Structure 1
Amino acid sequence: MTPALDERDRIRAAMERILAGTPERSNGALTIVALAREAGVPRNALTQRHLDLKAKFYDKVRARGQMPDSEKRLRQQIVKLKELREGDKAEIARLQADLEALVRVVHQLTVEKLQLWTELTTPDTRVRVLPTQPSPTD
């Protein structure tokens, strides 16, 4: 499939409409998807064939002091991921503390088990005095 001869002109016109805030076919977002929809071309026309127009579009957006919508979304996602990472750090610290406590408990129980096992398996050579029953005269 060959691109239409006027494809570059349609993209340039769509670029101007979106930047002017007067889109006709798209939602006017500052994205390549909206630009492609506005120009009536497939998205890959901008991502594969007309990379220079894609770069020019983003350059114009930035020159106006604006940020492309895709960049805004990515920045918001970065903020969310950083928050999640901080939460994960706190949880990892709690889990490490719990792990250390559990290791101590397991060690203590192992020592106690060994002591009890030793007591059970070692013959007792001590002589024990058994309690006597009280005599009837007492």
Structure 2
Amino acid sequence: MPVSAATESKLREAMARLLAGEPLHTDGALTKENLAREAKVSHATVHRAEGVLAEWDAKIARPVLRTPGEVQRDEAITDLRSRLREANSRVTELQGKLDALATVTANLYYENLELKKKTSAQGQRRIAALPASGPWLE
């Protein structure tokens, strides 16, 4: 279903304002949604106006470019996300090592307690040599 002549006229005027960089109702980005907003018609109406839409597509052949500030912001966000992923990976690795060391420390603590009990039970007798097996050999 084609659009009325009045609607087509509103769309062409809105397109002219957007292309001239003088929008009245939008931020000026060259998008079909802004074309609809600038003309104060629905997005569906823009797509029914095939002639205006073809003209829009011919004039806006390239994608909307980002400003240098937006590019810098997006690059900074990408860099920060990458650094955060690396930091989280490192934290996970170190947490695993910490857990392993805590387990070893707890085992050594209890082995030490057992050895102290054995030595105190044997009186003041000293241990002549370390046993041939144990975690200290690993």
Greater Rg, structure 1 or structure 2? Answer: 1
Q: Which among 62, 66, 70 is matched to residue 72 of structure 1? A: 66
CA distance in 1, matches of 2:48, 2:114: 81
1:96 alignment counterpart: 92
Gaps of 5+ in 1: 130-138
- TM (normalized to structure 2)? 0.57
CA distance in 2, matches of 1:126, 1:88: 56
CA distance in 2, matches of 1:98, 1:23: 55
Mapping 1:1-138, distance limit 5 Å: 5-6=4-5, 7-46=7-46, 49-50=48-49, 53=52, 57-62=56-61, 67-68=63-64, 72=66, 76=71, 78-119=74-115, 125-128=121-124
Gaps of 5+ in 2: 126-138
Please tell me the residue identity of whatever aligns with 2:85.
Answer: K
CA distance in 1, matches of 2:86, 2:116: 45
Check conservation: 2:2, 2:50, Cα contact below 8 A: no
* C-alpha displacement of 1:107: 2.5
Check conservation: 2:15, 2:56, Cα contact below 8 A: yes
Paired residues, what number? 121
Relative distance call for 1:110 and 1:24 in structure 2 (3 A) is closer
Q: SS of the counterpart of 1:13?
A: helix
Give a deviation string over 1:62-86, Cα, whole Å, max 9, x none.
Answer: 35xxx42xx527x747534412321
Relative distance call for 1:56 and 1:84 in structure 2 (3 A) is farther
**Superposition RMSD on alpha carbons, in Å?**
3.9
Please tell me the residue identity of whatever aligns with 2:106.
Answer: T
Relative distance call for 1:110 and 1:9 in structure 2 (3 A) is same
Percentage of pairs with the same residue: 21
